[in-house]
Amino acid sequence: MRPAHQGAPGLAHGGVLATALDETLGSLNWLLRTIAVTGRLETDFRRPVPVGSVLHLEAEVTAVAGRKIYSTATGRLGGPEGPVAVRADALFVEVKVDHFIDNGRPEEIRVAMNDPDQIRRARAFEVNP
């Protein structure tokens, strides 16, 4: 957590923590080779997260039912054995690429189409690093 992530003095902003959880959960869909968007994100804030601390995030898919992907994520302070600070349950809904073409701005769609590896680079991560 960096100073730019601060909400209350010295502590991470809840919206930033929710974003981190959403991003971690969304990465699971990439592993499933599925294009999906967040339909529901339920977040529990269990402990304050200090600026300067490391938040270790883990996420897993719990169920898939048709277009619906259920997943859960946990953020622990300091490392994988640290105390739970935040957690979230999410529902992602699979969409066609048309979702972005129909609803997004043409400029960004054009940039993405002209550089198909853009999203791949942005989502580059190791599985079980």
Ligand X SMILES: CCCCCCCCCCCC(=O)SCCNC(=O)CCNC(=O)[C@H](O)C(C)(C)COP(=O)(O)OP(=O)(O)OC[C@H]1O[C@@H](n2cnc3c(N)ncnc32)[C@H](O)[C@@H]1OP(=O)(O)O
Provide the token pair at 6.
């601060």
What residues between 25 and 84 interact with ligand X by CB under 6 A?
26, 35, 37-40, 66-68
Answer yes or no whether residue 18 interacts with ligand X by CB under 6 A. no
Distance (Å, whole) CA 75 – CA 70: 17
Active site (annotated) includes residue 22: yes
Contacts 24+ apart (CB under 8 A), 77-82: 77/47, 77/49, 77/53, 78/53, 78/54, 79/54, 80/56, 82/56
Instruction: Pick the binder of ligand X from 46, 97, 102, 104 (CB under 6 A).
Output: 97
Q: Which residues bind ligand X (CB under 6 A)?
A: 22, 26, 35, 37-40, 66-68, 91, 93, 95, 97, 100, 112, 119
Catalytically active residues are: 22
